């Protein structure tokens, strides 16, 4: 049997990679965050709306604590794939609104896409190795 698409080696130069931990059961511990950050693999932390009704106060507290870590560069996944009912997205938005009080360097934006509510988070992030970040 002949291979129809041969593997081709392509050399690329990646400056960084982003990884996602989309719900509390997958959240990393501090040592994993530090190890990933050390190899320029930046982490995002999520509260996917599929489980929004099941998140505990402890889950929300851990979410907030992780967002304060310098190794965490953003919020994701947010569920804009429309795989959940609108009510679940509202539940997620309420959780984020309640959580945002304790987040110092974070700003949440609420918006709708195709009639569905979504969330966007902006975190003030400074990369210690990039002079352009300190501007």
91-104 per-position pLDDT tens digit: 777 766 666 545 54
- The b/e string for 22-57 (b: 16+ C-beta within 10 A; e otherwise) is bbbeebbeeeebeebbeeeebbbbbbbbbbbeebee
Strands 106-113 and 116-123: antiparallel
Over residues 63-82, the pLDDT tens digits come to 888 988 989 888 777 666 56
pLDDT at 96: 66
Backbone angles phi, psi at 71, to 5 degrees: -75, -15
CB 57 within 8 A of CB 96: no
- C-alpha gyration radius of the chain: 18
């Amino acid at each position: 049997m002949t291979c129809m698409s041969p593997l081709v080696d392509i050399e690329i130069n990646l400056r960084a990679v982003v990884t996602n931990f989309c719900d509390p059961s997958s959240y990393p511990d501090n040592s994993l965050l530090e190890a990933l950050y050390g190899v320029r693999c930046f982490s995002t932390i999520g509260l996917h709306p599929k489980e929004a009704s099941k998140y505990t106060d402890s889950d929300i507290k851990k979410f907030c604590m992780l967002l304060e870590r310098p190794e965490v560069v953003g919020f994701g996944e947010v569920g804009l794939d429309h795989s959940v009912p609108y009510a679940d997205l509202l539940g997620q938005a309420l959780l984020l609104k309640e959580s945002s009080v304790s987040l110092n360097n974070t700003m949440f934006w609420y918006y709708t896409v195709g009639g569905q509510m979504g969330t966007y988070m902006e975190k003030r992030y400074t990369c210690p190795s990039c002079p352009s970040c300190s501007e």
